Chains A and B, each alone.
Chain A
Amino acid sequence: MSILVKNDISVLVQGITGKEGHFHAQKMLNYGTHIVAGVTPGKGGDWVLDGKIPVFDSVKTAIEATGAEASVIFVPADHAADAIFEAVEAQLQYVFCVTEGIPMQDMMRVKRYMQTSETQLIGPNSPGLLSPGQVKLGIIPGEIAKPGNIGVISRSGTLTYEIVNEISKAGAGISTCIGIGGDPILGTGYPELLELFEADPDTEKILIVGEIGGKFEENAVRYISQHNTKPVYAFIVGKSAPEGRRMGHAGAIIEKRAGSAAYKIELIKNAGIRLASSIEEIPALLLKS
Chain B
Amino acid sequence: MRIQEYQSKRIFSHYGIPIPKGRVAINAIIADHIYEELQPDVVIKAQVLTSGRGKAGGIRLAKSAEQVEEITNDILSLTIKGMPVKKILVEEAIKIDQEYFIAIITDKDAGQPALMASKYGGMDIEDAVRENSSVMYSLPIDPLAGLLEFQVRSAALAVELPKQLWDEFTTIVLALWKLYEETDADSVEINPLVISEGDKLIALDAKVNIDDNAIYRHSELSEYFDLEEEDRMEYQAKKYGLSYVKLNGNIGCMVNGAGLAMATLDLLSDQGGKPANFLDIGGGANSEKVSSGLKILMQDERVKVILINIFGGITRCDEVAKGLLSVFENTPIEIPVVIRLAGTNAREGLEMLKDSGLIVAENIVEAARISVQLSQENKQ
Contact = CB atoms under 8 A, between A and B. Distances in A.
A113 interface: yes
A23 B365 CA distance: 31
Contacts of A211: 258-259, 262
B36 interface: no
Interface residues of B, number: 50
Interface string A263-281: 0000000000000001110
Contacts of A103: 184, 211, 213-214, 217
A105 interface: yes
B117 interface: no
Interface in B203-241: 211-214, 216-217
A214 B109 contact: yes
A160 B259 contact: yes
A78 B266 contact: no
B364 interface: yes
Contacts of A238: 262, 266
A108 B266 CA distance: 32
A166 to B, nearest CB: 8
Contact of B213 (A23, A157, A162, A250): A250
Nearest to A278: B270
A209 B245 contact: no
B232 to A, nearest CB: 14
B344 interface: yes
A240 B265 contact: yes
Contact of B283 (A111, A139, A154, A215): A139
Contacts, number: 166
B343 to A, nearest CB: 7
A252 B216 CA distance: 20
Interface residues of A, number: 57
Contacts of B40: none
Nearest to B144: A112
Contacts of B111: 107-108, 111-112, 185
B280 interface: yes
B245 A246 contact: yes
Interface string B109-139: 1011100000000000000000000000000
Contact of B311 (A78, A161, A184, A248): A161
Given A252-B258, A279-B364, A102 B265 contact: no
Interface of B: 106, 108-109, 111-113, 142-144, 181, 184, 186, 211-214, 216-217, 243, 245, 247, 255-263, 265-270, 275, 278, 280, 283-284, 311, 313-315, 342-344, 364-365
7 contacts: A23-B314, A102-B213, A112-B143, A158-B257, A159-B263, A214-B108, A279-B365
Given A103-B213, A185-B108, 8 more contacts: A108-B106, A139-B283, A140-B313, A141-B314, A182-B258, A237-B262, A248-B258, A248-B259
